[in-house]
Amino acid sequence: MAVKNYQAVITANDLVADKTHRMRLRLEDGESFEFRAGQFMNLQVAPTARRSYSISSSPLNKDYLETYADTHAGGPGSKFFESAVVGQEVSLLGPLGSFFYEEREKPVFFIATGTGCTPFISMIRYALEEVHSERQIIMISGFRFAGDYFADDIFNEMQSKFSNFKYYLTLSKPEADWKGFKGRVTERLELVKSKDVDAYICGSQAMINDTEAILLNKGVPSSQVFYEQFY
């Protein structure tokens, strides 16, 4: 899949959580953007600035490209997402990255914090809806506060439709009335009962290091652990 420059138009830019936007883009001139689930694109967010964002839409979705962005940092990318409007044109480069889904028979865990879950939305959509995977798929998604999490509706819908998919959301700093899982995503790695699993990790470098160390200690081979630093 050749890396190319494309022109696109923004068709949606919604605030889906505190400081988190979901943007959808449609390519101009009827062009097709071919990519593998898990890859990312590079957007022109300012005249002299470009930023990379993982793609959350499925590779077989030809209607739009979708991504999520955390705007807490306040830089050029954050300002772009905060001010972008429907109908606005944007230049993008892609597909980029070698972090993508591989279909295999063994169970697979997806472990993410924050917007690190973005590529996993694409991967899991692709595995369940396009490949019709029968492997056991487990998504562990971690955020700090109740106002931070997003894509809960997407994962819950997939969990209701596919018996081989399980979704776990955990908050590290929940409010007193939070009824779900509490703690960091690493505390949910108790769900890994076998060393014969694949694991995809996306989040901060510290989270990746901690998660990988726990998985290796459980006997999961390093060749079955895949990760990408998201921020």
Mean residue pLDDT of the chain comes to 94
Per-residue b or e along 63-96, where b marks 16 or more CB atoms closer than 10 Å to that residue's CB: ebbbbbbbbeeeeebbebbeebeeeeebebbbbb
pLDDT classification of 230: cutoffs 50, 70, 90 = low
Per-residue b or e along 182-209, where b marks 16 or more CB atoms closer than 10 Å to that residue's CB: eebbbebbeebeeeebbbbbbbeeebbe
Please tell me the least confidently modeled range out of 109-113, 177-181, 220-224: 177-181
pLDDT tens digits, 207-219: 999 999 999 999 9
pLDDT tens digits, 145-154: 999 999 999 9
Domains in the chain with CATH codes: 4-96 (2.40.30.10), 108-229 (3.40.50.80)
| Those residues with Cβ within 8 angstroms of residue 61's Cβ, 6 or more apart along the chain or in another chain | none
pTM of the model: 0.94
pLDDT tops 60 at residue 231: no
- At 104 the pLDDT is 96
- At 28 the pLDDT is 86
pLDDT tens digits, 160-171: 999 999 999 999
CA distances from 13 to 39, 66, 85 (A): 20, 10, 7
Between 62 and 40, residue with greater pLDDT: 40
pLDDT tops 60 at residue 2: yes
**Residue listed under structure tokens 């960091």:** 184
Per-residue b or e along 124-138, where b marks 16 or more CB atoms closer than 10 Å to that residue's CB: bbbbbeeeebebebb
Between 173 and 29, residue with greater pLDDT: 173
